[in-house]
Amino acid sequence: MAKEVEHILLKAELNNNCPECFATDGLELTFMQKEKLTKWYRKASPEIGEQLICHTCGTTLYPIRWTEDIERVYQYHKKRLRPLSSKMRLRLFSKK
């Protein structure tokens, strides 16, 4: 039975204006990667998910609503990512 775990790779608070409420202190950009865990191995997914949330108005902002400034900051943070290796790694078992 496989279990999926979601790892947060990077969480960044942005000082850009929210396109919905125009607040400058509530935007948070999060990059996530899923990893599949089984009894014998663990393997990270090569896809990286991202999410931009405004905590002031409680809105999830999708890329169609991003401004040029938000897009620039997004590209900067995306370059900083260090994703998990998507190679399959065997799990070690300890004797009990």
Q: Is residue 37 part of a domain?
A: yes
Q: Is the residue at 92 inside a domain?
A: no
Question: Which pLDDT score is estimated for 55?
Answer: 92
Q: Is the pLDDT of residue 76 over 90?
A: yes
Q: Name the CA radius of gyration of the chain, rounded.
A: 17
From the list 64, 68, 73, the residue with the least C-alpha distance to 27 is 73
Average pLDDT for residues 61-88, to the nearest whole number? Answer: 91
Q: Which domain holds residue 7?
A: 3-84
Does residue 74 fall inside a structural domain? Answer: yes
Task: Please report whether residue 93 resides in a domain.
Answer: no
Domain count within the chain: 1
Q: The pTM is what? A: 0.82
Cα 23 from Cα 84, distance rounded (Å): 33
In a domain? residue 94: no
60, part of any domain: yes
